[in-house]
Amino acid sequence: MQFEEFAREQLPGLVRFAAVLTGDRELAQDVVQDALVRAHRAWRQLAAADRPELYMRKIVVNGYLGWRRRWYQRSVRPAPDVLRFREPAEPDPAGRIADADQLSGLLAGLTRAQQASIVLRFYEDRDDDEIAAVLGCAPGTVRSHISRGLSSLRVRLTEGKESV
């Protein structure tokens, strides 16, 4: 498979993954573009990998983590408007989270490793070994990130319900 074909095939899923991870579609596109540039440089190694699509997720996560460290790309996020949560929620026929802003706000309160672990598990449906390969850590560490992240999300959701 040529790089162009691989990139065309992976691009939509990578952008969706990065958008959930970053909470910002434009930033997601930038992170994926940088990841594809890196992947193109190392195409021989990437093409030889057992699961090149999983390796691409790793490049995206590393790019996102690196972006978060760069001072010149930091952005200020306004505080969420808590009054909008008093309005009745629209039903979601698919049973998924209806408000992407609420999701990104909740994920933003987690550590980057917890964010990446939770997105890879619940959005990408990856197992512990795959997530560990992407994050470069042990599967036990992945389980710890997910457990602590979910615990933090539960607390934040409970606090949000009590304040309304």
pLDDT tens sequence across 12-25: 999 999 998 888 88
The yes-or-no verdict on residue 137 having pLDDT over 90 is yes
Question: What phi and psi, each to the nearest 5 degrees, are found at residue 143?
Answer: -60, -40
The number of folded domains in the chain is: 2
Mean pLDDT along residues 50-68: 87
Helix (H) or strand (E) holding 92: none
Residue, of 85 and 53, whose pLDDT is higher: 53
Considering the chain, what percentage of its residues have pLDDT values greater than 70? 77
Domain with 163, as residue range(s), is 83-88+97-164
Measured CA to CA, the distance from residue 164 to residue 161 in angstroms comes to: 5
Helix (H) or strand (E) holding 43: helix 43-48
Rounded average pLDDT over 28-45 = 91
DSSP state of 49: S
Residues 6+ apart with CB under 8 A from 129: 139
Residue 78 in any domain: the answer is no
- CATH number, domain at 158? 1.10.10.10
